């Protein structure tokens, strides 16, 4: 199979075919958080690192005023085009989740599946929380989900997804190449195998996630005192089951509130 080295996020059509249909549990959970924790109706939302708009488009359809940013221009073009097609403003823009402002304060922000871990160091991670706190109204919510490094990390992890729409099929593999807990870097390999009636090819890429254990994450949260921790959940997205974080906790969602 022909192999092309490319940036994973430069192919929004393939990204969205694989991941775009997986949104219902997250959307249900976000709405449940708004109902449970916000004293005022939640109307205006922002997603830092919104990518192809997997969640943004669903929230727009659910009646929220949505916006978001992403470093990747191709993802933003794709996201704005789908918003426009559905009759909504093209409200997402190219930008850095560690350096952004919003025109009007938002009622809630969210960042659900490790996107925040793309930020490479403490300086940008702290800047991210500062930007979010600056953007939220008082009492506004920030819901952020990521994988923590447990005390005994798994040696080898990999995941595979496959999806088909019409004549296009994509199989995606994602695996940990190496984890350096001193440098706090998890190196991830990714492939997309793309099948159409006339051609087949593989796109390969590598990306980096910063690692966080429990203490590192709590220390970071402590650097932005305007964001107070209300509750924690895991990727079951069950609003009735907040969790306690332990040494073994991996997937976690923090619900934070702007003081
Ligand atoms: C795993 S995708 C998730 C996209 C979307 N949040 C979702 O849930 O489908 C991660 C996204 O983060 C974006 N990204 C990485 N670093 C970023 C940064 N510093 N600022 C904004 N976006 C960033 C990538 O371009 C990519 O679109």
CATH topology for 8-148+212-258 is Rossmann fold (3.40.50)
> So what's the pLDDT on residue 201?
95
Pseudo-torsion of CA 130, 108, 88, 145, nearest 10°? 80
Q: Kindly tell me if the per-residue pLDDT of 107 is higher than 90.
A: yes
Q: Kindly tell me if the per-residue pLDDT of 8 is higher than 90.
A: no
> So what's the pLDDT on residue 72?
96
pLDDT tier for residue 236 given thresholds of 50, 70 and 90: very high
Q: What is the end-to-end Cα distance of the chain in Å, rounded?
A: 54
76-90, 146-160, 213-227, 234-248: segment of lowest average pLDDT: 146-160
Q: Are strands 227-233 and 251-258 parallel, antiparallel or unpaired?
A: antiparallel
> Cα of 51 to ligand 1 centre, how many Å?
5
Say how far apart CA 257 and CA 228 lie, in whole Å: 5
- Residue ranges of the domains in the chain? 8-148+212-258, 151-210
> So what's the pLDDT on residue 156?
63
pTM for the full model? Answer: 0.96
Give φ, ψ of 248 to 5 degrees. -100, -5
3-state secondary structure of 160: strand
> Cα of 228 to ligand 1 centre, how many Å?
24
Q: What are the structure tokens assigned to 82, written together? A: 């789908």
Question: Ligand 1, residues 46, 68, 71, 80: which to mutate, most atoms within 8 A of Cβ?
Answer: 71
| Domain 151-210 class, CATH top level | mainly beta
Determine whether the shortest distance from the Cβ of 50 to ligand 1 is under 6 A.
yes
Say how far apart CA 134 and CA 57 lie, in whole Å: 24
Query: What secondary structure does DSSP assign to 175-197, as a single string?
Result: EEEEEETTTTEEEEEEEEEEE-S
> So what's the pLDDT on residue 172?
95
- Residues 39-64: what's their mean pLDDT? 97
Q: Kindly tell me if the per-residue pLDDT of 20 is higher than 90.
A: no
Instruction: Note the Cα 86 to chain centre separation in Å.
Output: 22
> So what's the pLDDT on residue 22?
86
Say how far apart CA 88 and CA 57 lie, in whole Å: 9
Query: What percentage of the chain carries pLDDT values higher than 90?
Result: 92
> So what's the pLDDT on residue 129?
98
| Atom of ligand 1 minimally distant from the CA of 115 | 10
Determine whether the shortest distance from the Cβ of 172 to ligand 1 is under 6 A.
no
Decide: 18 and 194 in contact? Cβ < 8 Å: no
Say how far apart CA 29 and CA 235 lie, in whole Å: 10
> So what's the pLDDT on residue 117?
98
> So what's the pLDDT on residue 155?
64
């Amino acid at each position: 199979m022909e192999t092309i080295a490319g940036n994973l996020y430069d192919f929004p059509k393939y990204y969205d075919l694989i991941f775009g249909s997986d949104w219902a549990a997250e959307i249900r959970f976000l709405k449940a958080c708004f109902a449970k924790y916000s004293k005022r109706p939640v109307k205006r939302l922002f997603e830092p690192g919104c990518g192809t708009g997997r969640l943004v488009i669903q929230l727009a359809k659910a009646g929220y005023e949505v916006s978001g940013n992403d470093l990747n221009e191709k993802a933003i073009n794709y996201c704005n085009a789908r918003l426009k097609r559905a009759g909504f403003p093209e409200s997402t823009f190219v930008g850095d989740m560690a350096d952004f402002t919003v025109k009007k304060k938002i009622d809630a922000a969210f960042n659900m599946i490790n996107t925040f871990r793309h930020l490479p160091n403490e300086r940008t991670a702290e800047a991210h929380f500062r930007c979010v706190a600056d953007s939220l109204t008082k009492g506004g919510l920030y819901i952020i989900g990521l994988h923590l490094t447990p005390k005994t990390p798994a040696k080898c992890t990999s995941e595979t997804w496959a999806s088909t729409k019409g004549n296009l099929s994509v199989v995606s593999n994602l695996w940990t190449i190496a984890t350096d807990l001193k440098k706090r870097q998890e190196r991830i390999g990714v492939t997309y195998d793309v099948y159409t009636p006339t051609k087949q090819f593989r796109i390969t890429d590598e990306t980096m996630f910063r690692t966080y254990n429990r203490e590192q994450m709590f220390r970071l949260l402590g650097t932005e005192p305007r964001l107070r921790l209300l509750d924690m959940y895991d990727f079951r997205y069950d609003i009735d089951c907040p969790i306690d974080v332990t040494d073994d906790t991996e997937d976690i969602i923090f619900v934070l509130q702007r003081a």
